[in-house]
């Protein structure tokens, strides 16, 4: 399943860029689904987990920096995905569980839904705050 092109763009460059990098990584995993348990898949899963953690840390710090009120709710959503990725890294990486299409679909579905809801709301907040700051610093 492909990540619908354009559906993930939120208009905040660093968020869009991080999301595209994560999408690329999931796409690589989807291509290698039959080599579950291989060294290559283990490496990809570890890289995906690490990149996702870094992205979530960046988002959560940005939320704190701009006093975003839904930060705790958003962090809980991040935590749930990290748990799923840790499961994939440990169980699939060790060969105990086979990486299958349903797992990849779950990953795409989670990312698409999260980006379309929680991340979209945060991106709007950033964009409104930028407009607000411009309005208060502009003298007429």
Residues at the site binding Fe ion, with contacts judged by CB under 5 A: 59, 119
Query: Which single residue brings its beta carbon nearest to Fe ion?
Result: 119
Closest CB 74 distance from Fe ion, rounded Å = 6
Closest CB 104 distance from Fe ion, rounded Å = 20
Of 44 and 119, which has the nearer Cβ to Fe ion? 119
Of 59 and 85, which has the nearer Cβ to Fe ion? 59
Of 12 and 119, which has the nearer Cβ to Fe ion? 119
Residues 6+ apart with CB under 8 A from 139: none
Closest CB 88 distance from Fe ion, rounded Å = 18
Backbone angles phi, psi at 123, to 5 degrees: -60, -40
- Per-position b or e across 45-57, b if 16+ CB within 10 A of its CB: beebbebbeebbe
Of 38 and 53, which has the nearer Cβ to Fe ion? 53
Rg (CA), the chain: 17
């Amino acid at each position: 399943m492909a990540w619908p092109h354009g559906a993930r763009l939120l208009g905040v460059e660093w968020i869009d860029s991080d999301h595209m990098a994560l999408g690329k990584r999931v796409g690589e995993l989807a291509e290698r689904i039959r080599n579950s348990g291989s060294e290559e898949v283990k490496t990809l899963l570890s890289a995906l987990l690490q990149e996702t953690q870094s992205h979530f840390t960046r988002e959560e710090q940005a939320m704190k920096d701009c006093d975003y009120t839904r930060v705790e709710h958003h962090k809980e959503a991040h935590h749930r995905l990290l748990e799923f990725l840790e499961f994939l890294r440990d169980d699939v990486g060790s060969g105990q569980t086979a990486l299958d299409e349903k797992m990849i679909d779950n990953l795409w579905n989670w990312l698409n839904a999260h980006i379309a809801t929680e991340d979209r709301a945060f991106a709007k907040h950033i964009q409104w705050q930028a407009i607000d700051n411009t309005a208060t610093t502009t003298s007429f």
